[in-house]
A and B are shown apart, each in its own frame.
Chain A
């Protein structure tokens, strides 16, 4: 293992992934600094979610390298990456529908603790887990629903539970896959202020289509198209770039 003192929180080098003959990510390289807020944009099919799935370990790249704080994690399974401080949310809501909000967030906490292997005490034995889960739910404004099953709550609230599960883990690198998808205007601004309140100890990388909201949250922007990085850099420079207009804004 390479030492954990690295200039970058996340480094991606020449990442390539093809499904059959179709290359979905094609030679992508990125370097993201600790604490950075990076927005990844691109039209449908640009390879954004496929890129996330490779970073989180759901998919193995055909070639290339992924480094988390200098550690090469390309061959690590998802759960090992989580223990190195990587956390993510899903574009399609992936929650435990039958369980309460508190239980959902508690699972997020449990995943990083040795007590997840413990076979004789119930989860309720660890009171600190429940307390912490409720604190996180409070932070996303859902404490009043803590004892309700996820299947009972509204879509916009589920989006916030997605976020709460990831935030509870206090990740060093957080991947947000369209956290604003399908939200109303009010919900959008709620989630937006939630994301902007994430501490700087967490590096945030976000895929988002809603440019109006997302650009405010970003410092740097990467534009993908056909599995390649088209433009990459400071937010304003990327927006001003001609290729961005061509590919994405359609102007």
Chain B
């Protein structure tokens, strides 16, 4: 039943380019990319209880590696995608060893610091990264010879990747390893006494989240055909975290809804209000006050209450 509903939803989303203009199709692509990114962060924040403020590291690093390899070193898109994801995942493994020396606030500060180092490098190593100018003139890949240049074909490509990513992450959190992870989030001491290795469980999750963060980074650079140090910035990490919390951390749908909300606000509100961040802040405040656990859990509780009321 759940699978049929999910398949129907994907089919419905696939129809978007048939009736919507390019602007909305492009917005749809951006939401899909942000949804993978936020969902990967949610593995840490929602399911692992590891609040990271440096998740942009993986998006930005994957994007930069791909951009550099294709534009400067003459690599094809296939090999650069593989190198970029392997490199980003390896970096997540290394960063995980450092960040998981702490939990809670300490963990958050270490992830923030590590992402700041990368951001600083992207800015300052202008010989390699072209600094504040970013790297422009990038190309999109042509999987199986299909061009992704027009908005609809890119959207469908992004939708396929997103559906697969979402499926993989859903399987991950509902597996028995997922149960171990949630247990370690709730009662780490008890879990250790029961024979679980909390550190290893967290580390594996950290690497997996980095992997999917890298995938979203690849899509990000393909979509924009441009990369700038701001993709590695704390703002980029914080926006995703905001989306996860607003949508509902620890739920599968929450980060998707949250990421969509942030992007819609950014795109629409910024046309009318210069300080769209302020509006985002207000909306976030409202959500947290009205539905402390996020939009998705909040609405499902409301729906349950309504159903009980009408019975």
For the complex, give the distance between the alpha carbons of A118 and B174 in Å.
Answer: 11
Judged by a CB distance under 8 angstroms, whether A83 is at the interface is yes
Judged by a CB distance under 8 angstroms, whether A112 is at the interface is yes
Judged by a CB distance under 8 angstroms, whether A159 is at the interface is no
> Could you tell me the distance in whole angstroms from the C-beta of A15 to the nearest C-beta in chain B?
19
Question: Which single member of A88, A107, A121 contacts B175 (CB below 8 Å)?
Answer: A121
For the complex, give the distance between the alpha carbons of A78 and B195 in Å.
Answer: 7
For the complex, give the distance between the alpha carbons of A112 and B190 in Å.
Answer: 13
Stretch binding the partner chain, chosen from B4-12, B80-88, B149-157, B181-189: B181-189
User: Given A94-B190, A96-B186, do A119 and B195 touch, yes or no (CB 8 Å)?
Assistant: no
Which residues on the A side are within 8 Å of B186 (C-beta)? Answer: 96-98
Q: Which of A150-193 contact B (CB under 8 A)?
A: 165, 169
What are the interface flags for A68-82 relative to B under an 8 Å C-beta threshold, 1 for contact and 0 otherwise? 000000000111001
Question: Which single member of B171, B177, B180, B195 contacts A82 (CB below 8 Å)?
Answer: B195
User: Given A79-B195, A165-B194, do A94 and B189 touch, yes or no (CB 8 Å)?
Assistant: yes
Which of A77, A78, A118, A123 is the most central at the interface, judged by chain B CB atoms within 10 Å of its CB?
A78
Q: Which residue of the partner chain A has the closest CB to B180?
A: A116
Question: Which single member of A87, A106, A116 contacts B196 (CB below 8 Å)?
Answer: A116
Which residues on the A side are within 8 Å of B194 (C-beta)? Answer: 79, 82, 87, 107-108, 110-112, 165, 169
Task: Check if B176 sits within 8 Å of A126, measured CB to CB.
Answer: yes
User: Given A94-B187, A110-B180, do A119 and B175 touch, yes or no (CB 8 Å)?
Assistant: yes
For the complex, give the distance between the alpha carbons of A203 and B197 in Å.
Answer: 24
Task: Check if A118 sits within 8 Å of B197, measured CB to CB.
Answer: no
Which residues on the B side are within 8 Å of A82 (C-beta)? Answer: 192-195
Judged by a CB distance under 8 angstroms, whether A90 is at the interface is yes
Q: Which residue of the partner chain B has the closest CB to A58?
A: B189
Task: Check if B180 sits within 8 Å of A88, measured CB to CB.
Answer: no
Which residues on the B side are within 8 Å of A44 (C-beta)? Answer: none
Judged by a CB distance under 8 angstroms, whether B179 is at the interface is yes
Q: Which of B232-277 contact A (CB under 8 A)?
A: none
Question: Which single member of B174, B175, B177, B196 contacts A111 (CB below 8 Å)?
Answer: B196
For the complex, give the distance between the alpha carbons of A151 and B309 in Å.
Answer: 24
Judged by a CB distance under 8 angstroms, whether B191 is at the interface is yes
Which residues on the A side are within 8 Å of B187 (C-beta)? Answer: 94-96
Task: Check if A78 sits within 8 Å of B193, measured CB to CB.
Answer: yes
Judged by a CB distance under 8 angstroms, whether A56 is at the interface is yes
> Could you tell me the distance in whole angstroms from the C-beta of A71 to the nearest C-beta in chain B?
16
> Could you tell me the distance in whole angstroms from the C-beta of A158 to the nearest C-beta in chain B?
13
User: Given A94-B187, A95-B187, A96-B186, do A118 and B193 touch, yes or no (CB 8 Å)?
Assistant: no
Q: Which residue of the partner chain A has the closest CB to B187?
A: A94
Judged by a CB distance under 8 angstroms, whether B172 is at the interface is yes
Q: Which of B120-179 contact A (CB under 8 A)?
A: 171-172, 174-179
Judged by a CB distance under 8 angstroms, whether A19 is at the interface is no
Question: Which single member of B171, B195, B196 contacts A120 (CB below 8 Å)?
Answer: B171
Which of B174, B186, B193 is the most central at the interface, judged by chain A CB atoms within 10 Å of its CB?
B193
Question: Which single member of A83, A103, A116, A119 contacts B172 (CB below 8 Å)?
Answer: A119
For the complex, give the distance between the alpha carbons of A165 and B198 in Å.
Answer: 18
Secondary structure at the B interface, as helix, strand, loop or mixed, is helix
For the complex, give the distance between the alpha carbons of A185 and B247 in Å.
Answer: 47
Task: Check if B193 sits within 8 Å of A107, measured CB to CB.
Answer: no
Which residues on the A side are within 8 Å of B191 (C-beta)? Answer: 107, 111
For the complex, give the distance between the alpha carbons of A122 and B196 in Å.
Answer: 17
Which residues on the A side are within 8 Å of B175 (C-beta)? Answer: 118-123
Q: Which residue of the partner chain A has the closest CB to B174?
A: A122
Which of A82, A95, A98, A107 is the most central at the interface, judged by chain B CB atoms within 10 Å of its CB?
A107
Q: Which residue of the partner chain B has the closest CB to A78?
A: B192
Judged by a CB distance under 8 angstroms, whether A115 is at the interface is yes
Which residues on the B side are within 8 Å of A58 (C-beta)? Answer: 189, 192-193
> Could you tell me the distance in whole angstroms from the C-beta of B117 to the nearest C-beta in chain A?
30
> Could you tell me the distance in whole angstroms from the C-beta of A169 to the nearest C-beta in chain B?
7
Task: Check if A96 sits within 8 Å of B193, measured CB to CB.
Answer: no
For the complex, give the distance between the alpha carbons of A115 and B198 in Å.
Answer: 15
Task: Check if B177 sits within 8 Å of A57, measured CB to CB.
Answer: no
Task: Check if B179 sits within 8 Å of A107, measured CB to CB.
Answer: yes
> Could you tell me the distance in whole angstroms from the C-beta of B47 to the nearest C-beta in chain A?
13
> Could you tell me the distance in whole angstroms from the C-beta of A99 to the nearest C-beta in chain B?
8
> Could you tell me the distance in whole angstroms from the C-beta of B253 to the nearest C-beta in chain A?
18
For the complex, give the distance between the alpha carbons of A125 and B176 in Å.
Answer: 9
Task: Check if A88 sits within 8 Å of B193, measured CB to CB.
Answer: yes
For the complex, give the distance between the alpha carbons of A14 and B290 in Å.
Answer: 56
Task: Check if A116 sits within 8 Å of B174, measured CB to CB.
Answer: no
Ordered by A's residue number, 6 sampled pairs between the chains whose C-beta atoms are within 8 Å are A82-B193, A90-B190, A94-B190, A95-B187, A106-B179, A123-B179
The 8 closest A-B pairs by CB, nearest first: A111-B195, A111-B194, A82-B195, A78-B192, A119-B177, A94-B190, A123-B176, A119-B175
Instruction: Give B residues with C-beta under 8 Å from A.
Output: 171-172, 174-180, 183, 186-187, 189-198
